[in-house]
Amino acid sequence: MIRIIVVEDNAIVRRGIISLLDEQEDLQVVGAAENGFIAIELLEKGLQSDILLTDFNMPGMDGSILSEKVHVLFPKLKTIILTMHQRNDFVDRARTAGASGYILKDGNFEELFAGIRRVNFGKEFIIVGL
């Protein structure tokens, strides 16, 4: 079972992502947060996860900063950025911050599921359609 924390500031989008992921037999959402600060707090309190799936743009702490902090504080936790930004500079920021995945929100569900599974097995997964 791949354990996932979903970090997304939009409550409707967050709940939609959780619902999609929970339909997969091998994926389990173990936590959710509306920003990076809450995600870090959950992890510091001991929440165990394999993947942190985070939006890029969020108030206070964007996904690249969150990924960077997670990479330092919880090095075994893999980060995937789920975003609407199809720009190389955003992809570069995510990679520099330690993210293993970069997936577009307007992609299909199968890409999201495949990306989570691939990143969980230590591979990079970048889908940007550039």
pLDDT single digits (tens) 30-85: 999 999 999 999 999 999 999 999 999 999 899 999 999 999 999 999 999 999 99
Q: What pLDDT shows up at residue 65?
A: 96
Distance CA 64, CA 81 (A): 8
Q: Are 97 and 68 in contact (CB under 8 A)?
A: yes
Radius of gyration (Cα) for the chain, nearest Å?
13
- What span, in angstroms and rounded, lies between the C-alpha atoms of 101 and 123? 9
Q: How many residues does the chain have?
A: 130
CATH class of 2-126: alpha beta
**Token pair recorded at residue 44:** 């510091």
Q: Share the mean pLDDT of the chain.
A: 95
Q: Is the pLDDT of residue 107 over 90?
A: no
Looking at the predicted structure, is the pLDDT value of residue 130 above 60? no
Average pLDDT of the residues in 4-18: 98
